[in-house]
Structure formats: C-alpha cells, structure tokens
Amino acid sequence: MGKTIVTTSHRPTPRTRSLLKDLVAIIPNSIRITRGKATLELLALEALDIGADRILVIRNWKGNPRYIDLYMVTPLSRGATKICTLILCGYKLTREGTKKNPARQPSALIIPVSTVVSAKIPEELMECLVQCLRAQVSSDEEICTEAENVLIVDVSERRSNVFEVSFRDCKGDRYGPVLRVCGAKMVSTGQG
C-alpha cells in the first residue's frame, strides 16, 4: 500500500488545519505536509520523492473546510491527476466530541460490504470515499478477524442527500472526526 500526502489549500484556516491533523491520524500510511506556497506540481514531485501515490488537498470555503480533492501521482506523468472531490457540508473535529484519535495510525480502514452495496448511498460518493480514505471493502463477518489495528468506516444517511462518515474500532469505540458529506464529483479521464 502506497503513502498518501494530506495537505491544505494555500491559506488554511485553523479549523482546516485541525481537520487535516484528524484525518492524518486515521488514514493509513498518510503524511501531513505543510503546503505553504507549493504548487500542485511541486507537491507531486515531493510525493514521488517520498514514495506517495496520492495527494489529498483540503480546501476552504467561507473559512471552513468544504472540499477534499484527491489527486493521483504517477512517475510517468510527473504531475498530479485529479480523480474526485468530496463535498463536505459539515464536520465534527475529534476534540469537539467524546471521540479521540487512535494511539497510532491504523493499519487499514475497512468499509463493510453491506454499506458499499446500500441503495441509499450514491455510487459516485462511495467510490470517491473509498479512494480518498484508501479503504478496503470486506464482508461483515470478517471485519474484526483480519487484524487488530483496523478502523471500521460507518456511512449513514443523516438526512436527505447528507451522509455521515464516522470511524470506530472492533469494540465499538469511536475515533477521529465525523464528516458530513453532501456529494462527490468524479473527474472523467477522457478514456473510453
């Protein structure tokens, strides 16, 4: 499994930095990078230097995190190709609830098959979520028998077209932020 660079837009707000810190704590093999004035091309080169194949960029809208963009990095392209964008309509940071960050990064994030095939969750949103979080899909019975340091991703419909994404371990203890996702936009690659 490759690494993921998690960063922000050029001028992040304190809440965006806090969400960045929370996401790095729960996404396996993720590395937090302070962006500064770096362009996307420079981030892609840095990703290649450290062996990362994905870049997550958290963007602001009116002072709060609103979009999470996923870019793929390949050595041949020497740049970053946008794959999808998750649109947030709300979130709760780890420090705002009774949740906590795990002591160490999980070895894997697992989404149950029953969640993936749910008719309520749009296919585009689920695909973008799986790719952004680098989650694995596993049958409901096998989730807690595979490894001990895994987090389970719960996706539930909060209200019409708003889905709540939360993280828990096999014991049921909650970890990390809660994301309220309004939608996702997949970027067509122009192939086919």
**Rounded Cα gap, residues 57 and 71, in angstroms:** 8
Q: How confident is the model at residue 103 (pLDDT cuts 50, 70, 90)?
A: confident
Higher-pLDDT residue of 48 and 143 is 48
- Please list, in sequence order, all residues whose beta carbon lies within 8 angstroms of the beta carbon of residue 78, skipping any fewer than 6 positions away: 41, 44, 45, 48
Residue 94, beta-bridge partner list:
none
- Laid out side by side, the sheet with 79-92 consists of 30-32, 3-8, 52-61, 64-74, 79-92, 174-186, 162-168, 150-159, 108-112, 136-138
Whether 32 has a pLDDT exceeding 70, the answer reads: yes
**What does the block give as tokens for 30?**
């993720």
Look over the chain and give the mean of its residue pLDDT values, rounded to a whole number.
88
Give the global pTM.
0.90
Domains, the chain, ordered by start? 3-87 (3.40.50.10480), 108-186 (3.40.50.10480)
Q: How confident is the model at residue 190 (pLDDT cuts 50, 70, 90)?
A: very low
Whether 100 has a pLDDT exceeding 80, the answer reads: no
Least confident of 66-70, 102-106, 181-185: 102-106
